Structure 1
Amino acid sequence: MNNIFLITKREFLTQVKKKSFIILTLLAPLMIIAFGSVIGLMFKANESHSIIEVVDKSGLFRGQLKSDDKLNYIFVSAADESSKINNLKDNESLDGILILPELKNQNFDDLQSNSRLVINTKIGFDTKQRIVSDLINVIKKEKIKQLGIAETQLNDLDKSFTLKTINVSENNKEDSDLTFGVKTGLSMVLMYVTFMFIIIYGVRVMRSVLEEKNNRVVEIIISSVKPFELMMGKILGVTLVALTQFIIWIAMSVVGALILNTGFSAMQQNIPGGNEEIVSKLDITQIATQVSHSLLELNFPLIIGVFIIYFLLGYIFYSSIYAAIGSAVDNETETQQFTLFAILPLMLGMYGSFSLMNNPDGPLGFWLSIIPFTSPVAMIARIPFGVPVWQLALSIVLLLGTTIFMIFLAGKIYRVGILMYGNKATLKEIWKWIKG
């Protein structure tokens, strides 16, 4: 036991003393935010502004088609139709001409079949769908008007319905759409982080074992410690490194949510009541405040506790597999045939968990969060929505038992494989090591 502690301490201190670890730990949250901002800017940069001239022979659409910063409608005379079309190819300031025929005998089907859009460049699919949607809305309003329904009545028909949800299992707390969105976002973030870090740190253990094996350093090390102690020391050391990063990131996230919740609320209270321009500019501030408030309303001690338990057990479970793989092969090329067995269950759990957002308590969510191979990811995805205590306890017990069993199997493979050189391991041979 003392040897395991010494190896764990060495692995941990070796990693955390690196400048790269400190920089990455402190800057990773900012890098993630910056990455998300860059993606958003990329989508924004790819947006186009289209100018469409409209020849409205029906007289139905003038004043009804609304322009904005993405699409600008310009109505022109029907007499200029031919010349406009002829000059369209050389007109770089115009993207297309929308020609709407006369409306005869209120035959909207005939109007639709004879309407056409003449373009001089490739218009995006979203722009075309926007034009179609605008035309449909105008025709819909006209049809309803012919039925004798006033515009105020039409607006009343289109009024949205907000259904309040009261959760009796959470002390009759109201669940808003924003709260559900926050839970979904938190669920996806926790699930993806768990998935990525189990793979990243698991591969790190495998490469560390493989490097020591190829350098023959392990022959010297196991003269002083048992192979099982060396394996467990490496796994636990890297586990503590990952746990240290998570604790720092969780603390930064909670502090950030508190700052958003208190700071932005104070800003809103100090806004002059009549200054609509300032209020409109702070819409994003209000959203950030509501999101941070919804985050703080969640049962964070439970979520953080469950997250840490499942990450630790899931990481030790899969790191045992990675350590066994590293000891059984001689180079990274040979690891590819075995790492698939470790990655596939995690991928199954992650992609299967995307369907849990709409029904966290469904049969798929239950079994994915109970089966040990997928529970480290699936249960993390479910926990923000609330999980019955008995399911949580059953899942942890099964995962703990399976992890201990996997450590036992990996130890038997590691004991033999760590000293095997030049002999390509096969599944049949690994099975013999386990039996022996």
Structure 2
Amino acid sequence: MNNIILITKREFLTQVKKKSFVILTLLAPLLIIAFGAVIGLMFKANESHNIIEVVDNSGLFKNELKSTDKLEYKIIPSAEEKSTISNLKGNETLDGILILPQIQNGNYDEFQKNTRLIVNTKIGFDTKQRIISDLSDVIKKEKIKQLGIAETQIDDLDKGFTLKTINVSENNKEDSDLALGVKSVLSMLLMYVTFMFIIIYGVRVMRSVLEEKNNRVVEIIISSVKPFELMMGKILGVTFVALTQFIVWISMSVVGALVLNTGFSSMQKNIPGGEEAMSKLDITQIATQVSHSLLELNFPLIIFVFIVFFLLGYIFYSSIYAAIGSAVDNETETQQFTLFAVLPLMLGMYGSFSFINNPDGPLGFWLSIIPFTSPVAMIARIPYGVPAWQIALSIVLLLGTTLFMVFLAGKIYRVGILMYGNKATLKEIWKWIRG
């Protein structure tokens, strides 16, 4: 036990003292934000401002087509139609001309057939759809007038129906659509983080084992400690490295959220009429509802399940990666074995997408119970609420399977760590396990 603690301490300190770890831990959240900002700027940079001149022979659209920052309409007289079309090619100040014919006897089908958009450049799909939408809205209003129906009546007919859902199994708590959306986002976020960390740090364990094996350092180390102690020390050491990054990132997120919230509140107070203006925005109301939905979640249980399943899942798969690293001589050979570790995790991750529609369905139950998929599936289900007996059963099965996998990996590690120049096959590895 003392040897495992010493190796864990050594592995942990070796990893956290690296400049790359410090830089990645401190800058990763900022890099992710910066990356998102760059993507947003790229989309913004690719946006264009289109100017479309409109020849309205119908007289219906003159004051109805509203310009935006991306699409500008300019109504021109019908007499200028031919000259504008002839001068359109090569005109850098005009992107196109929209020809709207007369509407004969309310025949809008014929109007649609004869409507043309002549352009001198390639306009975007969203711009074309915006023009279609603007024309459709005007035609719809005109049809409503001809039918003698007031727009207020149409708005009343278009009103949606809100269904209030009361969950008796959760103390008659009301389930809103927004609360379901918050749970879905939190579910996918926790699941994806767990999936990525298990793979990233599992591969790190495998590479560490492979590096020491190729450098023959392991021959010196195992003269003092048992192979199983060395393997467990490596796994636990990297586990604490992952937890350290988690703690730092969560702390940075909490501090950042508090700073942004304080700054936002002070900005409202310092701007004349700021509080009143912001209170009218839907985004403020949505943010408040999201906050309430988050506060209603059972965070102590969510955090407990997340930590337990992350740690057990990480140890489970890291033992597989450690066994793979000890059984091969180079990273190229790892590809034929790592598939066995990645596929179950991917199955659990993609299967978890169905939880949005039915978190308590048979697929959700079995994926969160089977140990190969439960580390990601149970974490994805927990924001929706999971019965205590299912959580307990899943933990017991995952714990037992993890201990068994560590035992098997230890047997492979014990033989494979000293094997050189012998390409391991599944048949060979099975002999090591049986031996």
Who is 1:92 aligned against?
92
Offset at 1:106? 1.1
- Decide whether aligned partners of structure 1 residues 349 and 127 sit closer, same or farther in structure 2, where only a CA change above 3 A counts: same
Deviations along 1:94-131, one digit per CA (max 9) or x if unpaired, are: 11111122111211111112212111111111111111
Who is 1:314 aligned against?
313
Offset at 1:74? 1.4
Report if aligned partners of 1:261, 1:290 keep a CA contact under 8 Å in 2: no
Instruction: Give the secondary-structure state (helix, strand or coil) at the position aligned to 1:224.
Output: coil
- Decide whether aligned partners of structure 1 residues 116 and 102 sit closer, same or farther in structure 2, where only a CA change above 3 A counts: same
Percentage of matched positions with identical amino acids: 85
Who is 1:16 aligned against?
16
Who is 2:249 aligned against?
249
Who is 2:199 aligned against?
199
Question: Is 1:144 aligned to 2:181, yes or no?
Answer: no
Offset at 1:420? 0.6
**Which stretch shows the higher mean deviation, 92-101 or 203-212?**
92-101
Q: What is the CA–CA distance in structure 2 between the aligned matches of 1:267 and 1:183, rounded to whole Å?
A: 30
Report if aligned partners of 2:269, 2:275 keep a CA contact under 8 Å in 1: no
Question: Is 1:334 aligned to 2:343, yes or no?
Answer: no
Offset at 1:41? 2.1
Offset at 1:167? 4.0
Q: What is the CA–CA distance in structure 2 between the aligned matches of 1:22 and 1:353, rounded to whole Å?
A: 33
Report if aligned partners of 1:261, 1:289 keep a CA contact under 8 Å in 2: no
Report if aligned partners of 1:4, 1:232 keep a CA contact under 8 Å in 2: yes
| Counterpart mapping for 1:4-403 below 5 A | 4-258=4-258, 264=264, 268=268, 273=273, 279=278, 288=287, 291-403=290-402
Q: What is the CA–CA distance in structure 1 between the aligned matches of 2:300 and 2:393, rounded to whole Å?
A: 20
Deviations along 1:322-349, one digit per CA (max 9) or x if unpaired, are: 1011000001111111111111221222
Counterpart amino acid of 1:249? W
Offset at 1:290? 5.0
Report if aligned partners of 1:258, 1:292 keep a CA contact under 8 Å in 2: no
Offset at 1:269? 6.6
Instruction: Give the secondary-structure state (helix, strand or coil) at the position aligned to 1:249.
Output: helix
Offset at 1:401? 1.6
Deviations along 1:250-303, one digit per CA (max 9) or x if unpaired, are: 333344445555664576577655887x53898766655554454344222211
Cα RMSD between the aligned structures? 2.5
Q: What is the CA–CA distance in structure 1 between the aligned matches of 2:305 and 2:262, rounded to whole Å?
A: 27
Q: What is the CA–CA distance in structure 2 between the aligned matches of 1:166 and 1:224, rounded to whole Å?
A: 63
Counterpart amino acid of 1:77? P
Report if aligned partners of 2:213, 2:418 keep a CA contact under 8 Å in 1: yes
Counterpart amino acid of 2:8? T
The gaps in structure 1 that reach 5 residues or longer are none
Q: What is the CA–CA distance in structure 2 between the aligned matches of 1:216 and 1:404, rounded to whole Å?
A: 28
- Decide whether aligned partners of structure 1 residues 227 and 47 sit closer, same or farther in structure 2, where only a CA change above 3 A counts: same
**Which stretch shows the higher mean deviation, 129-138 or 169-178?**
169-178
Q: What is the CA–CA distance in structure 1 between the aligned matches of 2:292 and 2:222, rounded to whole Å?
A: 53
Q: What is the CA–CA distance in structure 1 between the aligned matches of 2:171 and 2:74, rounded to whole Å?
A: 56
Instruction: Give the secondary-structure state (helix, strand or coil) at the position aligned to 1:55.
Output: strand
Report if aligned partners of 2:370, 2:394 keep a CA contact under 8 Å in 1: yes
Counterpart amino acid of 2:363? L
Q: What is the CA–CA distance in structure 1 between the aligned matches of 2:86 and 2:297, rounded to whole Å?
A: 63
Q: What is the CA–CA distance in structure 1 between the aligned matches of 2:168 and 2:259, rounded to whole Å?
A: 30
Counterpart amino acid of 2:401? T
Q: What is the CA–CA distance in structure 1 between the aligned matches of 2:220 and 2:294, rounded to whole Å?
A: 51
Q: What is the CA–CA distance in structure 1 between the aligned matches of 2:170 and 2:266, rounded to whole Å?
A: 29
Instruction: Give the secondary-structure state (helix, strand or coil) at the position aligned to 2:228.
Output: helix
Q: What is the CA–CA distance in structure 2 between the aligned matches of 1:319 and 1:142, rounded to whole Å?
A: 67
**Which stretch shows the higher mean deviation, 287-296 or 230-239?**
287-296
Offset at 1:394? 1.9
Offset at 1:356? 2.0
Counterpart amino acid of 1:354? F
Counterpart amino acid of 2:305? V
Q: What is the CA–CA distance in structure 1 between the aligned matches of 2:33 and 2:290, rounded to whole Å?
A: 16
**Equivalent pairs, count:** 435
Report if aligned partners of 2:167, 2:175 keep a CA contact under 8 Å in 1: yes
Q: What is the CA–CA distance in structure 1 between the aligned matches of 2:140 and 2:320, rounded to whole Å?
A: 61
Who is 1:433 aligned against?
432
Offset at 1:136? 1.9
Provide TM-score, normalisation by structure 2: 0.92
Who is 2:407 aligned against?
408
Offset at 1:62? 2.2
Q: What is the CA–CA distance in structure 1 between the aligned matches of 2:423 and 2:130, rounded to whole Å?
A: 60
Counterpart amino acid of 1:226? K
Provide TM-score, normalisation by structure 1: 0.92
Report if aligned partners of 1:257, 1:293 keep a CA contact under 8 Å in 2: no
Q: What is the CA–CA distance in structure 2 between the aligned matches of 1:254 and 1:388, rounded to whole Å?
A: 29
Offset at 1:357? 2.1
